[in-house]
Copies of this chain bind each other. A is one copy, B any other.
């Protein structure tokens, strides 16, 4: 039915065709990609969906080896849900930690922005206390 070319999948996922081939080599695809007459890759909608998940995981900083591991678990089928859950939970913790770290840094940056705004008379008051 569907049957998408690598270029179409690139457009839909926001990944480049180079990256799509690279991800495939890296084992990030849940199913092996079908090949058309001329050896061209033929993707299904499922692949696009899965790649969407991969993109989100990457965007949240999950390293490729971890995504591969998760992919392998999914590919292996039912029975390893506990392991999948562990991978996801660990990653969630890392994301939360990263967000806390960003929030910490944000405080410093926001403070400095306020200080400079004060110095430039863009603000009425300049507390400029401690750190």
Give the A interface residue count (CB, 8 A).
Answer: 33
Q: Copies of this chain, how many?
A: 2
A window 7-53: CB within 8 A of B? 53
Q: A124 at the A/B interface (Cβ < 8 Å)?
A: no
CA distance A91 to B106 in the complex (A): 9
With beta carbons under 8 angstroms apart, the residue of B61, B88, B95 that contacts A116 is B88
Q: A92 at the A/B interface (Cβ < 8 Å)?
A: yes
CA distance A57 to B96 in the complex (A): 19
Q: Cβ of A96: which chain B residues have Cβ within 8 Å of it?
A: 106
Q: A99 at the A/B interface (Cβ < 8 Å)?
A: yes
Q: A103 at the A/B interface (Cβ < 8 Å)?
A: yes
Inter-chain contact B109/A103, CB cutoff 8 Å: no
Q: A2 at the A/B interface (Cβ < 8 Å)?
A: no
Inter-chain contact A110/B92, CB cutoff 8 Å: yes
Q: Cβ of A102: which chain B residues have Cβ within 8 Å of it?
A: 59-61, 95, 98-99, 102
Q: A126 at the A/B interface (Cβ < 8 Å)?
A: no
Interface residues of A (CB under 8 A from B): 53, 56-57, 59-61, 81-82, 84-85, 88-89, 91-92, 95-96, 98-99, 101-106, 108-110, 112-113, 116-117, 119-120
